[in-house]
Structure 1
Amino acid sequence: MTAVLCRHFGLSDIQLAEDIASDTFLKASEVWPVTGIPANPQAWLYTVAKNKVKDYFKHKAVFELKVKDNILKELNEKTLPDDIDQRTISDSQLAMLFAICDPIIPIAGQISLALQILCGFSILEVAQALLTNKETIKKRIFRAKTALRDSKFELKELSDSQISARLAAVLKTIYLLFNEGYYAQHENHIIRKELCMEAIRLALLLTAHETTNLPQTNALIALMCYQSSRLDARMDKDGAIVLFEQQDVQQWDSDMIDQGNFYMVQATDTQETSKYHIEAAIAYWHTVVDNQSKWEYILKFYNQLILIEYSPVTALNRAFAYAKMYGTEAGIEETKKLNLIKMSHYFGLLGYLYRDLDQAEAIDNYTKALNLASSLTEQDVYQKQILALQ
């Protein structure tokens, strides 16, 4: 809604568009419980938002000047499309995404702002996605909004060179959006499928344009398709997480795997290799069943990925692959070298590796993981592991 309002009414103040969007949903929460949900909730929301934009301009002091009548006439003629469809929204979202990824803002600020405005992340979720703290994110977003306002922000058509320069930040935003869905840090949800599907949808839109239909774009789509193929198998009927080795492969979505293969082929028609290519290759091998030699390839790709972009999660995943390749004891030593004592997944991996070697040590590590876990679903996973060992 923020993107659509900025695009169709030429709002240069993103904060204003966000406030109007929030007021609109507040209005719905007050009206719908009384009158019932309207036949077309989306149209209702956009109509209310449009009227709030008009009310805002009517009350601005500038409209008390001589130009008031002319401006109001022009505003009344500028209406949202009669049919607010996914195309209208998607076009506005992509336009806003590229507009936010403006080089006048540091790339960390671009991504933080995009995740908050276009992906609906809270400050905490942005901080978790970017592995930093809330105060840092607040400052980044404030500075980013100030920079856009000072530069007279507007949604306008960008040149091919501008689009190319901003694509890396756009892809990173979509990647983080997908990750938040797949490894959700939300308090009560460890998987948020709607975020995964939204990320894929936005990435697919990029393939419709020659300037953005690049190998790295296709590699990112391939990665997301491979990962999404296992979404249904990652949760049981009670909403509890199912670990990879316990998943029912019959629940894996073969169509999504085929889609991943298709986009992987599109991504490898040049010599370019991005982090998305490597992660997609890792995800592909995870879809291969009954082939123990796959861990040799997976470990090799993790070794490459760590050199391109180190992260604690990547390091832990590499340690898991190392254990699969060289044995449990070697995996434990490799994991302990990381010393990520503030991460629940660190102790969770140690608990997993100690299961068949030292049950007491496994329980101790799972207990530490339980105490650090941020979501109820993740806590439930560790609790079950402890009970099973006891």
Structure 2
Amino acid sequence: MTAVLCRHFGLRHIEIAEDIASDTFLKASEHWAINGIPENPAAWLYTVARNKAKDYFKHISVFETKIRHGLKPDNHKWENDFEFHEEIISDSQLAMIFAVCNPANNPESQIALALQILCGFSVEEIANAFLTKTETVKKRLQRARNNLRNDDFQVETLTGPEIRSRSDTVLKTLYLLFNEGYFSKSNHQFIRKELCSEAVRLILILTENPLTNTSQTNALLALMCFQSSRIEARINEKGEAVLFDEQDQNRWDKSLIEKGNYYLINATNGNEISKYHLEAGIAYWHTTDDKNKWRNILQLYNQLILIEYSPITALNRTFAFSKVYGQERAISEAEQLHLMEHNQYHGLLGYLYTPSNIPKAIEYYEQAVKLTTSETEKQTLNRKIERLKRKDDGQYR
């Protein structure tokens, strides 16, 4: 809705478009609570948004003071072509995705802005995604919005150069969005399905346009499909996290696995191998029962860590290493990482020490509890600690 409105207001006045969108949903919450949800909720929302935009433009004093001098008459003939039909919505969303990824901003600011405008992230959620302070994010967003307003980018049909200059940031943004949903660090939720769905929805828009339907796009969509297939199995009926080895595979969504296979095949129509290809490959092997799957997963992690090192990738690689070579050998691999500030590091060492040294495993798990901000993860770790204490036969006191 904001994207379509910005076709007519221009990015310089994006806050006006956002306000109209917010007012539209506020009216819906009030009207629907009394009269019930309409037969076509989307059409109802777009009709209200269009009428609010008309009312706004008819308000002469606001038009004179805030709009007229900022509009380019040739580019904003809203009275004749202000519509919310399917093609306009799709084109506007695609263009808006690329508009907010403005090269005038550094990559971190581009991603923060996109997460806020496209995905509705709060400042806190963005800070969690970047593992930084909320005040830092607020300042970053303020600067990024100023650059966005000063940009001459039009929320209309995209060109090849515009796409090529911003594609990497767009894909990284959607990748971060999905990860925040799949393993949420905010709002005390372990999984936020709506964020995963939103990421899939946005990347599907990219696959529907020939200019953005690239091998990287398909690889990222394949990754999201594979990961989404296991969402229902990652939480039990008590709302507790279920680790991969303990998941009921009957709860995996086979149709999403098939879609993941389809998009992964599409992603191989070229010579490019990106981090998304490798991560999609890792996710694919997780869906199989092949006896060599962990060796294949480890090989892919070995390639991934060379393309883009991150602490999480290093920890995941070490876990795969333990599945291939055993937990004893994996301990030295893990300890060489020296990631003492990461709760996953301590959680991994807790897992690796469990067969050989229960007191030490408990010690690492307790440190992981102290470092995590996820309530669900704390519950999972505490359950492990309790189980280990019962196993210890009096050694841990």
State TM-score, norm by structure 2.
0.87
Q: Partners of 1:64 and 1:299 in 2: how far apart?
A: 61
Aligned to 1:13: 13
Whether contact under 8 Å (1:90, 1:202) holds in the other structure is no
**Residue 242 in structure 1 maps to residue 242 in structure 2:** yes
| Structure 1 segment 1-390 matched on structure 2, within 5 A | 1-10=1-10, 12-57=12-57, 58=59, 60-63=61-64, 79-81=82-84, 89-291=89-291, 293-390=292-389
Whether contact under 8 Å (1:8, 1:80) holds in the other structure is no
Unaligned runs of 5+ in 2: 390-397
Question: Aligned AA for 1:181?
Answer: G
Whether contact under 8 Å (1:164, 1:211) holds in the other structure is no
Question: Aligned AA for 2:240?
Answer: A
Identify which range, 44-53 or 162-171, moves more after superposition.
44-53
By how many angstroms is 1:79 displaced? Answer: 4.2
By how many angstroms is 1:246 displaced? Answer: 0.4
Whether contact under 8 Å (2:97, 2:170) holds in the other structure is yes
Question: Aligned AA for 1:235?
Answer: I
Q: In the comparison of the two structures, how many residue pairs are matched?
A: 381
Residue 62 to residue 235, structure 1, CA distance change in 2 (3 Å): closer
1:161-215 Cα deviation digits (max 9, x unpaired): 2212221111111111111111112222211222222222322222222222221
Question: Aligned AA for 1:302?
Answer: Y
Question: Aligned AA for 2:173?
Answer: T
Identify which range, 306-315 or 24-33, moves more after superposition.
24-33
Q: Partners of 2:129 and 2:273 in 1: how far apart?
A: 24
Unaligned runs of 5+ in 1: none
By how many angstroms is 1:115 displaced? Answer: 0.8
Aligned to 2:395: none
1:22-52 Cα deviation digits (max 9, x unpaired): 3333444455545554554434443443344
Residue 111 to residue 280, structure 1, CA distance change in 2 (3 Å): same
Residue 61 to residue 28, structure 1, CA distance change in 2 (3 Å): closer
1:356-385 Cα deviation digits (max 9, x unpaired): 222222222222222222222212111211
By how many angstroms is 1:141 displaced? Answer: 1.6
Q: Partners of 2:332 and 2:103 in 1: how far apart?
A: 43
Whether contact under 8 Å (2:92, 2:156) holds in the other structure is no
Question: Aligned AA for 1:103?
Answer: P
Tell me, what secondary structure is at the counterpart of 1:4? helix
1:66-104 Cα deviation digits (max 9, x unpaired): x99xx9xx76555443xx66x654433222101112322
Identify which range, 337-346 or 42-51, moves more after superposition.
42-51
Q: Partners of 2:271 and 2:82 in 1: how far apart?
A: 47
By how many angstroms is 1:354 displaced? Answer: 1.9
Residue 36 to residue 215, structure 1, CA distance change in 2 (3 Å): closer
Q: Partners of 2:270 and 2:46 in 1: how far apart?
A: 43
Question: Aligned AA for 1:376?
Answer: E
Q: Partners of 1:154 and 1:107 in 2: how far apart?
A: 20
Residue 187 to residue 373, structure 1, CA distance change in 2 (3 Å): farther
Tell me, what secondary structure is at the counterpart of 1:307? helix
**Structure 1 stretches of 4+ moved >6 Å:** none
Question: Aligned AA for 2:245?
Answer: E
1:282-303 Cα deviation digits (max 9, x unpaired): 1111112151x32222122112
Residue 245 to residue 332, structure 1, CA distance change in 2 (3 Å): same
Residue 260 to residue 31, structure 1, CA distance change in 2 (3 Å): closer
Residue 88 to residue 108, structure 1, CA distance change in 2 (3 Å): same
Whether contact under 8 Å (1:54, 1:75) holds in the other structure is no
Residue 221 to residue 123, structure 1, CA distance change in 2 (3 Å): same
